[in-house]
Amino acid sequence: MIDEKQCEPVNVLSDDWSKAKCDKYDYMMAVFCGGAAGLIDVFFVGDPLTSVLGKKVDNVADGFVKKAAHFFWKNDKRTKGKSKDMPKTLEQCISYLEQAFPVNYDARYAKDLAVEKGVLDGMRPINHHLLALAHSPDPIGLIFSIIDQFMGYATFIDKGKIIHAIPQKTSGAIPYLQGTNLPSMVFCGFVNWIGHIISDLVGSSSTRKPGKIGRGAGIPMPFYELFLLCDFGNFDGKTFAETMISVFEEGYDARFGVTMAIPVVINELMIKVLWTVRQKFIRKKTWKESIPTSKHADLRIMLIVGNGTLCLVDGADAAVHGITEGNIVSFICHLNLVGWVRLVMLVLKELRIRFGPIIDQALNQFVDKILSDLRTPAEKERICAFYGRLEVYDKYLTELLAEFVAAVEKEYQELYIEIEATFDDTRNSSDRAEHSVKLAQVSGVDESRIVKSRKDLDDLFG
């Protein structure tokens, strides 16, 4: 049998755990806060194109991009490529960031990539930030950005599948990373990713020119790109993935994600403030016991009820707009995705706190039962030998990975040295030509295709 006392979570106060319930006033406060936040969501958040708070957030985002461009410009030590004057307008700031942090995965159309006909045929400037995984401001985007910059290709999601595409030669893609060794290259790739994300935050320089109407195509919300893997269903003739692309094209981007987070934050702040006041002045608890943390079960339940109320109000408003306007895109555009995700996270966290220890103890008992059935020394010896082999394989794989990283670092260092020497204007032409030959050899170009002398050049052009 499972001992319930042993299953009591260690990070929860024992008194609160034994009295883990809310009274009617707790529920009333939670519903009031959730309802008030829901009304803020309905009247001040709405959808991306008509949002009152959204316009304020857009202005803040524009100002952030300007400040970031000024910061990078002041610390830019380049002698070539840097603009002489500090960028002033939003268009100039975005243009500077685009030039300072170029990447090889910024294709706007399928024609910018070496792909077969029909692949990425729906990609346009308004949605290419969503289709290119490296544009996502989350760990997924960072990982694919580093990989794409190292490998020289771009990674997209097309029809529910992850694909790699090589940029066309005319696209101006950067073929290599800066840095002298692997750690420095990874760091440069990370900085390049951050800078490029900022350059795309409020749209491209061509769409944010003075006098142009529109807020520009921004970057997706964190993990929004995962919806593109759901290429199934039929919603007004589109799959779920295609529907979410259409929603993004309506302005449902990271800026609107921040806008949607405002009523969610207000709701939780109101609940925590009211709970703290009630703990201190009604229940006569100490200030230490009145700090709103996840250790208090009644507070966690109030947060779930409050967020649930917010989501009910938001869902009803979204349903009304979806029915009156007659399409699923309008319904999703009015849906507060941040609020719904927060509600799911709170519920899952509560389930883990309440039932996690019980599940852990049941699993431990199951493992103990299996191990107790291994009565003979021979059976135990085989188990020990199995774990020994696992340790040997783990050590071997670790050494193999270290050798691979060292080899890649050496290869990129040699490649970087030859590239730098080949394009160094301070060297004479014969020296640069010699390094260009070495660059081709290091890059694995066939010897018969390398131009080593003037005679080879004459033979090449007849």
pLDDT for the residue numbered 408: 82
User: For residue 226, which of 127, 133, 119 has the smallest C-alpha distance?
Assistant: 133
Q: Residue 19 pLDDT more than 60?
A: no
pLDDT for the residue numbered 150: 87
In the structure encoding, which two tokens stand for residue 296, read together? 């208090």
C-alpha dihedral, 60 to 65 to 71 to 73, nearest 10°: -150
pLDDT for the residue numbered 8: 53
d(C-alpha 442, C-alpha 412), whole Å: 9
Per-residue pLDDT band for 1 (boundaries 50, 70, 90) equals: very low
Specify whether the CB–CB gap between 248 and 130 falls below 8 A.
Answer: yes
In the structure encoding, which two tokens stand for residue 204, read together? 């491209």
pLDDT for the residue numbered 330: 96
Distance of CA 33 to the CA centre of its chain: 30
pLDDT for the residue numbered 266: 98
pLDDT for the residue numbered 249: 96
pLDDT for the residue numbered 302: 97
Over pLDDT 90: what percentage of the chain?
Answer: 59
pLDDT for the residue numbered 371: 67
Kindly report, residue by residue over 367-415, the tens digit of the pLDDT.
777 767 666 777 778 878 888 899 999 999 999 998 988 888 888 788 7
In this prediction, residues 278-296 reach a mean pLDDT of 91
Q: Which residues of 82-103 are buried (b: 16+ CB within 10 A; e: fewer)?
A: eeeeebeebbbbbbbbbebbbb
d(C-alpha 73, C-alpha 89), whole Å: 14
The CA distances from residue 438 to 163, 223, 229, in Å, are: 32, 43, 43
Count of beta carbons in the 10 Å neighbourhood of residue 343: 22
pLDDT for the residue numbered 462: 60
In the structure encoding, which two tokens stand for residue 165, read together? 């595409």
3-state secondary structure of 156: strand
Q: 155 pairs with which residues across the strands?
A: 164
Higher pLDDT residue, 350 or 19? 350
Q: Residue 201 pLDDT more than 90?
A: yes
Q: Residue 2 pLDDT more than 50?
A: no
Specify whether the CB–CB gap between 66 and 41 falls below 8 A.
Answer: no
Specify whether the CB–CB gap between 103 and 151 falls below 8 A.
Answer: no
Q: Residue 66 pLDDT more than 90?
A: yes
The CA distances from residue 54 to 152, 260, 293, 322, in Å, are: 37, 8, 30, 20
In this prediction, residues 53-80 reach a mean pLDDT of 94
In this prediction, residues 308-325 reach a mean pLDDT of 97
DSSP 8-class letter at 428: -
Q: Residue 40 pLDDT more than 90?
A: yes
Count of beta carbons in the 10 Å neighbourhood of residue 207: 17
d(C-alpha 238, C-alpha 243), whole Å: 6
Q: Does the CA dihedral 341-218-90-142 come out positive or negative?
A: positive
3-state secondary structure of 154: strand
C-alpha dihedral, 176 to 179 to 182 to 185, nearest 10°: -70
Q: Residue 4 pLDDT more than 50?
A: no
Single-letter amino acid code for the residue at 412: Y
3-state secondary structure of 210: coil
- The average confidence (pLDDT) of the chain is 88
In this prediction, residues 329-349 reach a mean pLDDT of 97
| Tokens 């755990």 belong to residue | 17
pLDDT for the residue numbered 259: 98
Higher pLDDT residue, 268 or 405? 268
Q: Rg of the chain over CA atoms, in angstroms?
A: 29
Q: How many residues does the chain have?
A: 462
Per-residue pLDDT band for 447 (boundaries 50, 70, 90) equals: confident
3-state secondary structure of 148: helix
pLDDT for the residue numbered 417: 82
Specify whether the CB–CB gap between 221 and 254 falls below 8 A.
Answer: yes
Count of beta carbons in the 10 Å neighbourhood of residue 177: 20
Kindly report, residue by residue over 142-193, the tens digit of the pLDDT.
999 999 998 889 999 999 999 999 988 766 555 556 777 888 888 999 999 9
pLDDT for the residue numbered 184: 87
